[in-house]
Amino acid sequence: MKLAVKFFMSTAILLCISFCGHSQILKSIGNRIKQKAEQRADSKVDQTIDKGLDKTEDATKTNKNSDNTNQSNQVNQNNQNGTNNQSSNNINNPGDPASFKTYSKFDFIPGDKVISYDNFFQDAIGDFPVNWNTNSSGEVVTSSIQEGHWLMLRKKGRFIPEYIKNFPENFTFEYDVACNEKFSFYSPLLYLYFLTGNNGKQVFDYSFIPLEKRSGVKIGVHPTNAGATGGITSAESFEDGTTVIKNEINTSQFNSYAGKTKLHVSVWRQKQRLRVYLNEEKVFDLPRAFPADKTYSTALFELWGDMNNDNDRYLIGNIKLSVGAPDTRNKLINEGKFVTHGILFDINSDKIRPESYGTLKDIATVLNENASVRVKIIGYTDSDGDDNSNLELSKRRSESVKNTLVKEFSIDTSRLETDGKGESQPVDKNTTPEGKANNRRVEFIKL
């Protein structure tokens, strides 16, 4: 059979050549071979992606049961509960870990208090999140290449976290986003909006911004630019339904063709000012992005179209809204105590994550400007896990903060003391994700 097919194909080609120009046929054959090769390569990538996304609880259980030590089981249990890790998933390219050096210009400082935190652990795998609304579809998934639960988005639509109903003049908003490799340039950007007006069914009208004369901002990310040499990020500002500011730039932080398929997005509003960070890079700093004298109450994600192929998808997770502008100097020097949720650690570890650089730098600046001040650093955890283990972990973390201030910011070690209280002194309830996030904290007490 194979010989017959080959003979038939050879005969067909010769007949075509007899009626057409040699160069045209050879070009057509070459293009066909190239297309098949690309399809085979994409198929291998797609199989890897499919293996990485599990839609059943059995997959989660299998991952847990593969651990062979009590320590590994404890790590997985804490991750399942979304607790005591004080971090999101690793957002950096494997083999190229971020360090404090790479974050040396990172000046993002999260808000004082966490008012919402969503890691989708309360939602069933395969379902759309119960506290969200949409005019499309999406589902909570797990991934063998990304820890935790994620909301997978692939279809055109709007996706609304209904528990977010208002924004103060100063807030920070953070989320993680991941995608597959070789994400198509023609698949849509993932947009995030902060707008005036109601976040209900009105937003499902695709002309709702001009019709309702809404004001606010739109931020977009995409892992593939036109040349597949990086990613794309965009920002747009609206006032009373009309675009005022609009820009789109390339970024090296999100690049699906270079394996950079994981991204941490940090948004910082200070009254009218908007700062946007992708990993450690500040991509936008717009002093008049938010029109003044407006009340902002809507947050939503959007895909403006379906994916260009069957395998493109976005995963979003670890969504955190914090409020308040940190006033480190006043609180530490005048009030005698400064509390932060901006110092993050690896899961069940005292290793400080580089995203903490902005917070640590802010504290170090205050200490350097007040050379006579001594402080005690105290670590706290939420209530999940073993009490004694949490206590020990909190002590090690406070010691790690001290060592970092000494090594990275040249603070005299004699000015710093450490302690840890574990889960013994909660400042919020331990029954909600945002409550647990508030209990995982570091305090600086003036001595």
pLDDT at 423 over 70: yes
Residues 360 and 381 in one domain: yes
Q: Answer with the residue of higher pLDDT: 89 or 108.
A: 108
Residue 20 has a pLDDT of 43
* % of residues, the chain, pLDDT over 70: 77
Listed range (16-30, 213-227, 369-383, 428-442) with the worst mean pLDDT: 16-30
Question: In angstroms, how far is CA 177 from the centroid of its own chain?
Answer: 5
Cα distance between residue 262 and residue 249, in whole Å: 18
Q: Which tens digits make up the pLDDT trace of 364-416?
A: 999 999 999 999 999 999 888 889 999 999 999 999 999 999 999 999 999 99
The string of DSSP letters for 303-364 reads: ESS--SSTT--EEEEEEEEEES---HHIIIIISSEEEES---B-TTS-PBPGGGHHHHHHHH
Average pLDDT of the residues in 207-236: 96
Residue 99 has a pLDDT of 66
Could you tell me if 381 and 394 are in contact, meaning their C-beta atoms sit under 8 angstroms apart?
A: yes
Residue 98 has a pLDDT of 58
Q: Answer with the residue of higher pLDDT: 243 or 206.
A: 243
Q: Answer with the residue of higher pLDDT: 67 or 160.
A: 160
Residues 266 and 377 in one domain: no
DSSP H helix total and E strand total for the chain:
9, 20
CB-count exposure of residue 102 (10 Å: 0-12, 13-18, 19+): middle
Residue 27 has a pLDDT of 45
Residues 262 and 347 in one domain: no
With cut-offs at 50, 70 and 90, classify the pLDDT of residue 97: very low
Residue ranges making up the domain that contains 17: 2-54
Residue 325 has a pLDDT of 75
With respect to residue 295, please indicate whether it lies within any of the assigned structural domains. Answer: yes
With respect to residue 154, please indicate whether it lies within any of the assigned structural domains. Answer: yes
Residues 347 and 308 in one domain: no
CATH number at residue 432: 3.30.1330.60
Average pLDDT of the residues in 271-284: 95
Could you tell me if 352 and 401 are in contact, meaning their C-beta atoms sit under 8 angstroms apart?
A: yes
pLDDT at 290 over 50: yes
Residues 291 and 357 in one domain: no
Structural tokens at position 114? 């966490």
Amino acid in position 193: Y
Could you tell me if 408 and 399 are in contact, meaning their C-beta atoms sit under 8 angstroms apart?
A: no
pLDDT at 33 over 80: no
Average pLDDT, the chain: 82
With respect to residue 71, please indicate whether it lies within any of the assigned structural domains. Answer: no
Cα distance between residue 107 and residue 123, in whole Å: 34
Average pLDDT of the residues in 244-259: 96
Helix (H) or strand (E) holding 171: strand 170-179
Cα distance between residue 417 and residue 375, in whole Å: 6
pLDDT at 5 over 90: no
Q: Which tens digits make up the pLDDT trace of 142-194?
A: 987 677 899 999 999 999 999 998 999 999 999 999 999 999 999 999 999 99
DSSP-based helix, strand, coil % in the chain, nearest 5:
30, 30, 40
Residues 145 and 282 in one domain: yes
With respect to residue 103, please indicate whether it lies within any of the assigned structural domains. Answer: no
CA-to-CA dists, residue 79 to 74, 147, 261, 347, 419, angstroms: 9, 8, 21, 7, 24
CATH number at residue 238: 2.60.120.200
Residues 199 and 305 in one domain: yes
With cut-offs at 50, 70 and 90, classify the pLDDT of residue 23: very low
Residue matched to tokens 């070690």: 413
With respect to residue 99, please indicate whether it lies within any of the assigned structural domains. Answer: no
In angstroms, how far is the first alpha carbon of the chain from the final one?
A: 87
pLDDT at 74 over 80: no
Q: Answer with the residue of higher pLDDT: 400 or 28.
A: 400
Average pLDDT of the residues in 421-444: 90
Question: H helices within 157-244, ranges in order?
Answer: 208-211
- Buried residues in 6-16 as b, exposed as e (16+ CB within 10 A): eeeeeeeeeee
With respect to residue 96, please indicate whether it lies within any of the assigned structural domains. Answer: no
Enter the pTM of the model: 0.76
Of residues 132, 128, 150, the one with CA closest to residue 141: 150
Residue 210 has a pLDDT of 96
